[in-house]
Amino acid sequence: MKYLSKNLTVPLLLFTLLFMVLLTACSTTQPTATPTPMTLEESAWYACTLGIKKELGLSILDAQNYNPDSVHLDDTFKDGTPVDFTTYVGPRQYEVDVYYAKVKSMYHCILIYYPDTEAWKLTSLAVK
């Protein structure tokens, strides 16, 4: 009887150990990459490409890659006074140029960013 219980104990222990390993492996979540936060300039470029897609039907995948030089923050008020963004919390105007090689065209977007709601509004879209 002792021999039989020893024969059953080892496989039972191995089975239990294997079951625990599988249970642990299945229950742990896989690590996911944390997305890099976009700058407002990158968000402006993305909002422009979304506007182009909505207005003209051009795919975002056909747009040139994001280029910081293609995004400009208008840092003056209409009267020409400079904006101090450390204290100014109102809407901000961005101008973005995006090139689409498939149609051989450069598009110029003017967008307004509303910091309080983090919303973008396309106010102008033109071929440059």
Query: What per-residue confidence (pLDDT) applies to 58?
Result: 96
Query: What per-residue confidence (pLDDT) applies to 1?
Result: 47
Higher-pLDDT residue of 7 and 67 is 67
Range of the domain at 80: 40-127
Structurally, the chain folds into a number of domains equal to 1
Is residue 85 predicted with pLDDT exceeding 50?
A: yes
> Does 67 reside within a domain?
yes
Is residue 122 predicted with pLDDT exceeding 60?
A: yes
Percent of the chain with pLDDT over 90: 55
Is residue 65 predicted with pLDDT exceeding 60?
A: yes
> Does 119 reside within a domain?
yes
Mean predicted confidence (pLDDT) in 61-86: 90
> Does 114 reside within a domain?
yes
Contacts of 114-121 with CB under 8 Å at 24 or more apart are 115/89, 115/90, 115/91, 116/89, 120/43, 120/44, 120/47
pTM of the predicted structure, to 2 decimals: 0.68
3-state SS assignment for residue 124: strand
